[in-house]
Amino acid sequence: MKAGFKYELLHQDKHCGARLGRLTTPRGVIDLPTFMPVGTCGTVKGLTTGLLEQTGAQIILGNTYHLHLRPGADIVQQMGELPKFMGWNKPMLTDSGGFQVFSLAKLTKITEEGAKFRSHIDGSLIDLTPEISVSIQEKLGADIAMVFDHVIELPNARSAVKDAMDRTIRWAKRCKDAHSKESQVQFAIVQGGLDERLRQECCKELIELDFPGYAIGGLSVGEPPEEMYRILDGTTPALPEDKPRYLMGVGTPEDLLEAVKRGVDMFDCVMPTRNGRNATAFTDSGKMKLRNLCHQTDPSPLMEGIDTPYSHLSRAYLGHLFRAKEMLGPILLSLHNLAYYQRLMKQAREAIAADRFVDFYHERMLGWKK
């Protein structure tokens, strides 16, 4: 890796593929496995960076597509790059925009050169190529930048999935060739749909390009969880042991532990904050819907073991905030959910170090099924 970057595989659980690791970047150290809160437009919705630090977050994600449209990468660079712009003095990762081109943009046209699409904000015509994605991410200035990939709708014909995978590999090489920022590393993205052989072929081709880290993309797009786990079973063993592995856009607490068990190190998802904004809290006993009448006079906190300045507040009070449409409700529940995810990852790391991750996995799964 470049100067200032280092990945260390500290320990693998004796009973499964779960890995304890450490990723060092110029802005700080990340303990793995880890969960990255999603700061799409330069903010994790509703939370200050100070509150994010209180959840235990060590790295957050910014979005190339959204920041390119608004306020623009040149403005962010002028303001001292994204971490300084938003007041986050810890590691950051930016995704490439590939998934948003697939999911948000209007009238998208994919060619070998890149993607042409209409902005979902004002309808303006936008070009996004591997080289442009790299340039935007270098201006944004995150520690880790993702290559520009071709995300395809699933299910789909194998020929179409392979075509998108092959294009992703070619685009990855173009991204690597265009990359010049010394204070930033690039991670490649493995595509291949729900076909294990294509995933393994993609791994092989990308490994030959020798990236500092590898992500698994194109999952959690509507396929059954069992299908995602099957693909992880076939993909993670094909990735290098001495480099970090990142499962993009995932997911539920159950998904995180399933993937950790299979050797994944990094995650991101909007689920904790999106659920928080909709009055749903994650707990060791499953999801708790605060609008339900059973919580209206409940003096209990959401759950024991979550340490935020507001974790003592009652379920009754939090439910009241949502019924009264007070903006504090979504803020406090987003804070709780992110703290819960960070606690889950910390407990996973401790369990891996003690070679008891499988026991921890079963304990949590049993609690969530109650």
The confidence score (pLDDT) of residue 118 equals 84
Mean pLDDT of the region 184-209: 98
pTM of the model: 0.96
Domains belonging to the chain, first-starting first, are 7-275+337-368 (3.20.20.105)
Confirm if 245 and 211 have CB atoms less than 8 A apart. Answer: no
Closest Cα partner for 121 from 66, 44, 72? 66
Among 96-100, 163-167, 305-309, 328-332, the range scoring the smallest mean pLDDT is 96-100
Helix or strand (DSSP H, E) at 159 = helix 158-178
- pLDDT higher than 70, residue 106: no
Among 76-80, 122-126, 179-183, 222-226, the range scoring the smallest mean pLDDT is 122-126
What are the pLDDT digits (tens) for 319-333? 999 999 999 999 999
Confirm if 332 and 313 have CB atoms less than 8 A apart. Answer: yes
The confidence score (pLDDT) of residue 105 equals 62
Confirm if 290 and 318 have CB atoms less than 8 A apart. Answer: yes
The confidence score (pLDDT) of residue 221 equals 84
- pLDDT higher than 80, residue 90: yes
At 119, the pLDDT band (50, 70, 90 cuts) reads confident
Q: Which two tokens stand for residue 370?
A: 């109650």
Confirm if 343 and 35 have CB atoms less than 8 A apart. Answer: no
Beta-strand runs (E) in 203-252: 213-216, 245-247
What is residue 143's DSSP assignment? S
For the chain, what is the mean pLDDT?
A: 95
What are the pLDDT digits (tens) for 281-297? 999 999 999 999 999 99
What are the pLDDT digits (tens) for 331-370? 999 999 999 999 999 999 999 999 999 999 999 999 998 6
- pLDDT higher than 80, residue 237: yes
The confidence score (pLDDT) of residue 302 equals 96
Helix or strand (DSSP H, E) at 353 = helix 328-353
* Helices 253-261/357-368 angle, 10° precision: 160
The confidence score (pLDDT) of residue 101 equals 76
**CA distances (Å), origin 133, targets 26, 181, 325:** 22, 13, 39
Helix or strand (DSSP H, E) at 64 = helix 64-69
The confidence score (pLDDT) of residue 28 equals 97
The confidence score (pLDDT) of residue 299 equals 98
What are the pLDDT digits (tens) for 248-290? 999 999 999 999 999 999 999 999 999 999 999 999 999 999 9
The confidence score (pLDDT) of residue 92 equals 98
Whose tokens are 């990359």? That residue is 179
The alpha carbon torsion through 315, 276, 280, 337 (nearest 10 deg) reads: -80
| Comparison of pLDDT for 61 and 120, the residue scoring more | 61
Confirm if 20 and 10 have CB atoms less than 8 A apart. Answer: yes
What are the pLDDT digits (tens) for 139-187? 999 999 999 999 988 889 999 999 999 999 999 999 999 999 999 999 9
Closest Cα partner for 239 from 2, 3, 7, 37? 7
Closest Cα partner for 260 from 10, 34, 99? 34
Catalytic annotation, residues: 95, 268
Sign (positive or negative) of CA dihedral 164, 165, 166, 167: positive
